[in-house]
Amino acid sequence: MASDKVDMSKSNSNRLPLQQPSLPWRMTSSLVMGLTSALSRGYLYGFNSVEVVGLDRFLDVLDKRKDVEKRERGLITVSNHISVLDDPIIWGVLPLRYAFNPSNHRWGLGAHDICFKNKFLSSFFYSGQVLPTHRLQYSPHGGLFQPTIPQAIRLLSSQPFATTPTPASSKESQDELPDPFTSGDLTFSTNGIDNYTAPSVYTQNKHSWIHIFPEACVHQHPKLFLRYFKWGISRLILESEPAPDVLPMFIDGTQHAMPEDRSFPRFLPRFGIKFRVAFGELLDPEDKFGDLRKRWRELVNKEKRGLVMGELTDELKYGEEATRLRIEVAKRVRDEVLKVRRSLRYPDEEPPGFELAETWAREPNKDRFRSDVDDSLVNKRD
């Protein structure tokens, strides 16, 4: 959608919702995602052994989401991150009939300095439903409040993207709130220079599926322990409306296909690997996060102003209560991924404090290193 043009002259309160991107764009996206999935599936099942746990359960979730009009909420899948190959390789376990339907496939977050460093790569990855994301270690435009995160929140939600000031507000007062897609905000920029069509402008993308690697870097631990989860996942869960479904996953094997200490040729994956992909149970969002979302809404209401979805005041960004909520959401999501890991009977002896950001603060500020916290191989570059 970086190149899919939108008629800005129609961006007014009387225009009809944009149903879907242009036919050429849809064909390109379907081709990119389908062929990538086919190559991933061919590599997995043609040269390796694969064990998939809970696949039927996950396919049932996707089947129920096939009709966009019947979707009631977004979907977040979340997993550990052990290789630069994790996405797209893990989606090779899905039957190919799911690969050529972008409207019912995942959106991901991709490093701007790698996936979007030139026009060709930008077009390829954006058509493959990857959102450009800056990493704070390499860009001043990175961090929790960069423009890409509101786009992900809106993909999980549906138009209009206006936050109700209070639960008791009348419909009239809600209608007065700004909607970015009736005020001309049909595109977004991640750095003030690039320009992308906002994918959530299209109604076919409402309540989308987004996959997140909350560790935010490759983490290869011998016993597959987890790092702490960063707070982007917290924003998606707290701010999307309604609360998105969350499905935890756990993956193993890609760290052997592309080990961080591999020798030449580094760019080629290894073969003869045993892969494991486990899909957990779909979480009840109200049961797992309802209390935290209630506290978040109370915090938003204290601001006494209408906010476009994804827009935050300084208090909502940096306030103590907002920070506590994000920490707790991230911890709960991490616990759910650990439950899937535990179900696969991996050693359950993680040292205390691994879920906290401060535990990892003493790691070196390098692209690739062996962690002095848990002796894992870490890659923050790819």
pLDDT digits (tens, 9 = 90+) for 110-132: 999 999 999 999 999 999 999 99
pLDDT at residue 151 in the model: 95
* 129 located within any domain: yes
Would you state the structure tokens that stand for residue 225, as one six-digit string? 């322990």
Instruction: Report, as an integer, the average pLDDT of 220-242.
Output: 96
pLDDT digits (tens, 9 = 90+) for 296-311: 999 999 987 778 899 9
Prior bond to 352 cis, omega within 30? no
* 307 located within any domain: yes
Backbone phi, psi, residue 260, to 5°:
-65, -25
* 1 located within any domain: no
* 2 located within any domain: no
Judged against a pLDDT cut of 50, whether residue 11 lies above it is answered with no
**192: domain range?**
8-379
Place of tokens 């990119």: 32
* 121 located within any domain: yes
Determine the distance from the C-alpha atom of residue 358 to the mean position of all C-alpha atoms in its chain, rounded to a whole number: 23
* Number of structural domains the chain divides into: 1
Of 98-102, 176-180, 227-231, 259-263, the one with minimum mean pLDDT is 176-180
Instruction: Report, as an integer, the average pLDDT of 316-340.
Output: 97
- The most confident of 191-200, 239-248, 261-270, by mean pLDDT: 239-248
* 3 located within any domain: no
Q: Can you say whether the dihedral through the CA atoms of 58, 64, 65, 67 is positive or negative?
A: positive
Note the pTM of the prediction, 2 decimals.
Answer: 0.91
pLDDT digits (tens, 9 = 90+) for 150-192: 999 999 999 888 655 444 343 433 344 344 444 346 899 999 9
pLDDT digits (tens, 9 = 90+) for 30-62: 999 999 999 999 999 999 999 999 999 999 999
pLDDT at residue 381 in the model: 82
Beta bridge partners of 377: 220, 370
* 266 located within any domain: yes
pLDDT at residue 348 in the model: 80
* 306 located within any domain: yes
Judged against a pLDDT cut of 80, whether residue 77 lies above it is answered with yes
